[in-house]
Amino acid sequence: MSISRGGRPIQTAMLIAISAATGAGVFALLGRGSSKPVAQLSRAQASELPRQEVPTQRADYRWAASLDQRLQALETAQQQKPAAPVTDPGPAPEPVEPPSAVEIEAQHTERIRAHQAEALDPAWSRTTTTVLAADFKHNSGTHFNAKSVDCRSTTCAVTLEWPSRDQALAEWRRALMQPTRANCGRAIVVPERPSTVTGPIDVTLLMDCSSWVKAGSPVLPEEELPVLAP
């Protein structure tokens, strides 16, 4: 392309416009071409799709016989084929990196420490501890026992004891969803321990009541506390 000096501004603008249009076109084609559904193809493009082969009436018998032969050959080959060894590839990789069990347990332990270090609000602590201790007695059909409840100023730690780790593994979801008259978030982790260790296990259910405290800590009337079926 030759550009004379006298027409430079117009030619430069033309150059920019052409290049913008070219770039836009290239990106649009690259970005969308591959995922375009068949329904959106033009008639010309659609005509390029492979057509299903349909036999003519004259060739019907020959065509059906050849299909039958191919089917029989496939069936025979399949029967003679030795069974492939079954190998478990394991779970496919997932895009989000989950925290490990060790990390989760460490986070939980850290939150228990933070709870223990929290300043004490004596009045709130007394009321909330009493409420939660009573509510965790509504645990019919389970094997856990609320050994202790410790509330500070916005958090509580409820120590639940199960007769064995297996029973804790079977019932921790139920403990997590325990209805209480204090509307608090809660978190639980059943700690790892060597399989050689048996006997009772203590599990800490942490309760974060910060939203409830901000709302003035309204305790649900006792008659409205859900009573669960065993």
Q: Which residues bind another protein (CB under 8 A)?
A: 3, 8, 12, 15-16, 19-24, 26-28, 30-31, 94, 96-101, 104-105, 108, 111, 141, 168-169, 172-174, 176-177, 179, 183-190, 208-212, 220-221, 223-224, 226-230
Give the 3-state secondary structure of residue 113. helix
Question: In angstroms, rounded to a whole number, what is the distance separating the alpha carbons of residues 159 and 201?
Answer: 10
Q: Which is nearer to another protein, 146 or 212 (CB)?
A: 212
CB of 41 to another protein, least distance (A): 20
Buried residues in 67-102 as b, exposed as e (16+ CB within 10 A) = eeeeeeeeeeeeeeeeeeeeeeeeeeeeeeeeeeee
CB of 51 to another protein, least distance (A): 33
Question: In angstroms, rounded to a whole number, what is the distance separating the alpha carbons of residues 18 and 128?
Answer: 72
CB of 100 to another protein, least distance (A): 6
CB of 116 to another protein, least distance (A): 15
DSSP string for residues in 51-97: PPP---STTHHHHHHHHHHHHHHHHHHHHHSPPPPP----SPP-SS-
Q: Which is nearer to another protein, 149 or 204 (CB)?
A: 204
Q: Which is nearer to another protein, 35 or 52 (CB)?
A: 35
Q: Which is nearer to another protein, 159 or 183 (CB)?
A: 183
